[in-house]
Amino acid sequence: MATKLDGEGRATALAALQDRGWTLVDGRDAITKRFVFNDFNAAFGWMTRAALVAEQMNHHPEWFNVYKTVEVTLATHDVGGLSDLDVKLAEKMDVLAG
């Protein structure tokens, strides 16, 4: 079950995410980050590892890939905005990106 972010917990989580390059999406309660790798092999390799994590969490990203770049957007449909699952998936994606 996803828990919608609010109050102080939300502020703290967003501050940490913003320090790592995530930004809020205009007009939507979602976060986004652009990951740039060395080449397609590295970009899609990272996507594959992130996909396994997402599938295990049963929480999936919206993502756009062109060659070595992946633009990720995270939000939680069930809560109509950002939840703890987005924070967790963002953290795991950052760790996988090194």
Residue ranges in contact with its own copies by CB under 8 A: 40-41, 44, 47-48, 51, 54-55, 60-67
- Closest CB to its own copies among 15 and 58? 58
Q: Could you tell me if 63 and 47 are in contact, meaning their C-beta atoms sit under 8 angstroms apart?
A: yes
Shortest gap between Cβ of 11 and its own copies (angstroms)?
A: 28
**Tokens linked to 45:** 């390799």
Nearer to its own copies, 6 or 62 (CB): 62
Nearest distance, CB of residue 57 and its own copies, angstroms: 11
Q: What CA–CA distance (Å, rounded) separates 74 from 40? A: 22
- Strand partners for 73: 32, 62
